[in-house]
Amino acid sequence: FNKDVKVNYGKITSVDFSPKSKFFLTGSDDGSAILWDITGAPLHIFDNIRKSVTCVKFSSDGKSIFTGTYGENLKQWNLKGD
């Protein structure tokens, strides 16, 4: 993960914690989802979503996340760790 992530904050619309509670994920009305470590440091921005993110969810094994937008498709993103 990239520790030098520059974050532009939109309104947070959803939050989920990883299965082992090492990370959390936020969705935002600016069309991005952000992966954070538990201390609140941003690790990665998923910003190619283009619409307000209305829901975020970690998979049960913590290897993927899902983002959803109002009226759009659910998208799966693969992660490399948790």
Which residue in this structure is represented by tokens 């959390």?
24
Residue 36 confidence class, pLDDT cut points 50, 70, 90 = very high
Cα 72 to Cα 1, 51, 78, 80: the distances in Å are 27, 9, 19, 26
Whole-number pLDDT of residue 6: 57
Whether the per-residue pLDDT at 58 is higher than 90: the answer is: yes
- What was the pLDDT predicted at 19? 94
- State residue 63's pLDDT score: 94
pLDDT at 3: 52
pTM of the model: 0.84
Return the ∠ at Cα 77 (arms to 8 and 22), rounded to 5°. 70
Q: Read off the pLDDT band of 48 (50, 70, 90).
A: confident
For the cut 50, the answer to whether the pLDDT of residue 82 exceeds it is: no
